Amino acid sequence: MRTLPIKNQSEIYEVIRACKTCYVAMSLNDSPYVLPMNFALEGDTVILHSAQSGRMWDTLQQNPKVCINWILGEELAWQDVRVGCSYRVKSKSILVEGTVEFVEDYDEKERCLHFFMTQYSDREFKFSAPAVKNVGVMKVKIEAISGKDFGAKAETPWNS
């Protein structure tokens, strides 16, 4: 079992869309901070939402650079049941780097919230004016993206 890069863009985006949670890493004054968050993926942009106050909001206002991680799968596998170093958690992991853009325009916030809900449901949703006004909506344009397949079968000449 090996760790292999995921090079196919469509596979990378399939992994992201299959996840319900992402982990957003940020930093301020050498103090790293990671939060699990719900998300939506619209083309090459990740949409996030939160309260417009708190540690995350304050951190991103001062340093909008983020790294976002998605992990799919947690199957335990091994090559030899008696050899601890042969154990591996089979999973796929995607990393995105980007810069947060805060959405201030009411209509764009509402559009993002509707799009956001498509990640979790195919229902139609309504949002009250106070809800739209009081939620923080952020967009992260993907500047760099990479993926890894952990616990992948090694490619051999007869199955590659």
d(CA 51, CA 99): 18
**pLDDT given at position 89:** 72
Q: What is the pLDDT of residue 91?
A: 84
Pairs from 106-111 (Cβ < 8 Å, separation ≥ 24): 106/132, 106/133, 108/137, 109/135, 109/137
Tokens standing for 89? 């958690």
| Predicted local distance difference test score (pLDDT) of residue 156 | 47
> How far is the C-alpha of 58 from the C-alpha of 21, rounded, in Å?
22
**From the first residue on, what is the mean pLDDT of each consecutive set of 10 residues in the chain (160 residues)?**
86 94 96 95 95 95 97 78 73 96 97 90 91 96 94 54
What pLDDT, on a 0 to 100 scale, did the predictor assign at position 151? 74
At residue 159, the pLDDT reads 42
Q: Which of 72, 68, 41 is nearest to 149 (CA)?
A: 72
pLDDT for res 11: 95
Domains of the chain from N-terminus onward: 2-152 (2.30.110.10)
